[in-house]
Amino acid sequence: MVESAFNPMAYSRARASGLWQFIPSTGRNYNLKQDWWKDERRDIVAATSAALDYLQTIYEMHGDWFLALASYNWGEGAVARAIKKNEAKGLPTDYQSLTMPA
């Protein structure tokens, strides 16, 4: 809601598009077609199905819904780096213990 305001035509500086704000590469990874004629990131049904698949994948990656949601918003790599940083310092790796952008 914050990023797209429930607008399927929403578009960000980072080239994220649609209700679920998929960047082009993640959209392609989840079979959302993007070409001159059609951008399925803006298709409510297709994008919602892809978002649910993506959330399930990142939940399985982390085993935690808070980390899955953080990965959806901040990026899988950024959350993984924050976890490794905490691990290296002997700190907890749960969502509340990670240093993430506001």
**Positions marked catalytic:** 3
Residue 41 half-sphere exposure, CB side, CA atoms within 13 Å?
23
CA 30: distance to chain centroid?
A: 12
Cα distance between residue 51 and residue 72, in whole Å? 9
Cα distance between residue 24 and residue 47, in whole Å? 12
Each residue of 80-100: b (16+ CB within 10 Å) or e? eebbeebeeeeeebebeebee
